[in-house]
Amino acid sequence: MPTARSGTSAHRLPALLAALCDRLPDDSCAALERVLQGATGPDDARIGRFIAEQSAAGLAHQLMDITRAWRAEAPGLTGAGLALALATARSRPRTEPAQVVVSGPLSASVPARMTSGVAMEVIRSATTSLLIASFAAHGARDIVREIARAVDRGVYVDLLLEESTQAAEAFAALPSGVHVWHRVGAAGVLHAKLIAADRHTAFLGSANLTDRALSDNIELGVVLRDPRLVEDLIDHFRWLLTPENNIMRRA
C-alpha cells in the first residue's frame, strides 16, 4: 500500500475495512469487491453509485468513510488493490462474541443462557477431544450421559478433578477410556471449572459439575468461541497434564 500522506494515520483504512467485513455477509463483501476491481480510485463513479444504492442503516456513511480514508491515506492505491485488501480482511476467521451463562434466577439485564444447557451443548460440539475440569462433582447425570455419548463417537476425554472432594465418583459409570487426572501434592487444590470442546469452544465460570450449580445456585460463566483464545487455554491445560511437569497425575 502506498505511503500515507504526511499528517494522516496509516492505520484507519485497514481498521475500516475490517469493521465493514464484520458487518457485511460474504456475498455483500464480494459484490463490493467486484465494483472495486474496475475502479480507478476513490472518486470513481461506480463506487459512488454503489454507495447510493445501499439502504442498510449507516452503511452508506461507513462506505463513504472508507473512500475518504482511501483518498487521504493511499491515493495511489487502485480499486483492484483495495479489493484485494478487502478480500484479505474477509478471509480472516470471524470470531463470535463471548456469551454470558448463568445459573439461578434470570434477569432482563443481559442476554444469558442457563448453565446446564450450555454445558451440554459444548460437550455435544466436540468431535475430537473434551477437556473438563471441576473442583466438585455430584449427580449431573445428564452431563455424564453426554460425556459417554462423546466417548462413543470417538472423542478423547480428559477429566481434571479435585481428589479431596471425591469428584471422580460422579463419573464412575463412564467407559475406562476416559482419563481422570488429580493434582499432585498438597500445594493447592484444583479449583478450575472448564469444559473445552476440541480447540474451538470453551465454557468457563464459577459452576461445579453438581446438580445445584448447574441449575439452582447463583453462578456465572462465559462461553468463548474465539479459537485464538481457546487454543491458548487448551495449551495451558495440556502443559499441566504433561507428566514431566509433575503437576497432574492419572488417577
pLDDT digits (tens, 9 = 90+) for 17-37: 988 887 888 888 889 999 999
Q: What pLDDT score was predicted for residue 21? A: 85
pLDDT exceeds cutoff 90 at 65? yes
Closest by CA position to 214, among listed 126, 129, 121: 121
25-29, 112-116, 145-149: which is most confident: 145-149
Same domain, 115 and 81: no
Tell which of 91, 107, 127 closes a domain.
Answer: 91
Tell which of 33, 60, 91 closes a domain.
Answer: 91
Residues 44, 52: contact at Cβ < 8 Å? no
Position 195 in a domain: yes
**Residue-number span of the structural domain to which 68 is assigned:** 12-91
pLDDT exceeds cutoff 70 at 85? yes
Rounded mean pLDDT, 130-153: 97
Cell 465454557, residue?
203
Residues 86, 92: contact at Cβ < 8 Å? no
Tell which of 41, 69, 91 closes a domain.
Answer: 91
Give the three-state DSSP class for 101: strand
Same domain, 47 and 150: no
Q: What pLDDT score was predicted for residue 93? A: 67
Same domain, 177 and 224: yes
Same domain, 53 and 125: no
Region of poorest pLDDT, from 95-99, 145-149, 193-197? 95-99
Same domain, 128 and 54: no
Closest by CA position to 77, among listed 5, 20, 146: 5
Q: What pLDDT score was predicted for residue 32? A: 93
Q: What pLDDT score was predicted for residue 110? A: 72
Q: Alpha-carbon distance 68 to 244, whole Å?
A: 57
Q: How long a stretch of residues is the chain?
A: 251
CATH code for the domain in which residue 185 is found? 3.30.870.10
The mean pLDDT of the chain is 90
